Amino acid sequence: MLVYADYIGYLAAIIGTLCWLPQTVKTWRSRETKDLSLAANLLVLSTVVLWFVYGIMMEAWPLVVGNIISIIAVGAIVTAKLIYK
């Protein structure tokens, strides 16, 4: 049963990570960030960093892998928001 839990975790990590990629790509291509909330994206970034730390502490590798990629994607959005006000 634990094997299935890992598969579900990896699937959730993949889907949860993929949802940020279109926004990240669009933001960097268009350099348009006025409609993005810095506060909301900072909260999301804080959340994925905490999930990443939790995943390491629990040795939950689906959480670790998914949140590394989410940190990069959301971090890129926050960076773009700070650069392209």
Domains, the chain = 2-83 (1.20.1280.290)
What pTM does this model have? 0.88
Q: How confident is the model at residue 15 (pLDDT cuts 50, 70, 90)?
A: very high
Distance between CA atoms of residues 49 and 23, nearest Å: 19
Could you give phi then psi for residue 41, rounded to 5 degrees?
-70, -35
Which structure tokens are listed for 73? 């994607």
Q: How confident is the model at residue 5 (pLDDT cuts 50, 70, 90)?
A: confident
For residue 10, which amino acid is it?
Y
Distance between CA atoms of residues 14 and 10, nearest Å: 6
pLDDT tens digits for range 34-84: 999 999 999 999 999 999 999 999 999 888 989 999 999 999 999 999 999
> For residue 19, how many other CB atoms are within 10 A of its CB?
11
> Do 9 and 63 touch, CB atoms closer than 8 A?
yes
Q: Tell me what pLDDT residue 28 has.
A: 96
Which one-letter DSSP state was computed for residue 33?
A: -
